[in-house]
Amino acid sequence: MAEVAAIVLAAGSGQRMGPGHGDKVWADLGGSPVLRHTLTVFQHAASVHTIVLVTREDLRARSEALIVDVGLTKVHAVVGGGATRRESTRNGLAVLARGRFDVVTVHDAARPFIDERIIAEGVALAREHGAAIPVIPVSDTIKRVSGSAIVDSPTREDLRAAQTPQAFRLDLLVRAHESADDTATDDGVLVERLGYTIRAYPGSVRNIKITVAEDLLFARALLAT
């Protein structure tokens, strides 16, 4: 059977963390950077054979040192990110050999509480159906607004919050990126634009994304539980 590659995206600017916090994936979480927690899960995931880390150029050397120090033997490439998420993912895809890999799973490095069940289930669904994304129910009532006016209230029962890792057949994701622009907020949107139906499956409320400083406080509390 062909192998599975994981692209871990760690090339964001981290501006939403606010001044004085630095890059979110290098923030301290229980004595180790967030990035170490995330990469370690993929290192131990039986369904993943190779990891490609996409990072900022100014953090490449630091990332490579972490990989060596921790013994992350599945990380076979560290590549520079682009100006957008799409560019960063494309840079990661560019180093994956066609024919060796049949499935690629793309994950935000700022989600350190990903677990092996979510990774493995996504890989299996992507192999069978082409694409799979973990989702969780939306607990808040969502409002669509125009300016300061509420114009619509979508039915909450039909809404889900998308998480990562998002898993795809490699050939499908490459084709989606070749025909896409930079307006998509995740890889699933690009695949949807090709007309494919993506399989949704249960994510986890613990699989939070650290985006602002308050998220880091919550992550530290989660780690302690």
Per-residue three-class SS string for 108-161 = ECCCCCCCHHHHHHHHHHHHHHCEEEEEEECCCCCCEEECCEEEECCCHHHCEE
Cα–Cα distance, 137 to 192 (Å, whole number): 20
Q: List pLDDT tens digits, range 111-151.
A: 999 999 999 999 999 999 999 999 999 988 999 999 999 99
pTM: 0.94
Q: List pLDDT tens digits, range 168-224.
A: 999 999 999 988 676 777 899 999 999 999 999 999 999 999 999 999 999 999 999
Please name each of the domains of the chain with its CATH number: 3-133+162-223 (3.90.550.10)
Q: Is the pLDDT of residue 19 over 70?
A: no
Q: List pLDDT tens digits, range 40-64.
A: 999 999 999 999 999 999 999 999 9
Residue type, 41: V
Q: Give φ, ψ of 199 to 5 degrees.
A: -80, 130
Residue ranges with strand state E in the chain: 3-10, 28-29, 32-33, 50-55, 75-80, 101-108, 131-137, 144-146, 149-152, 160-162, 166-169, 199-202
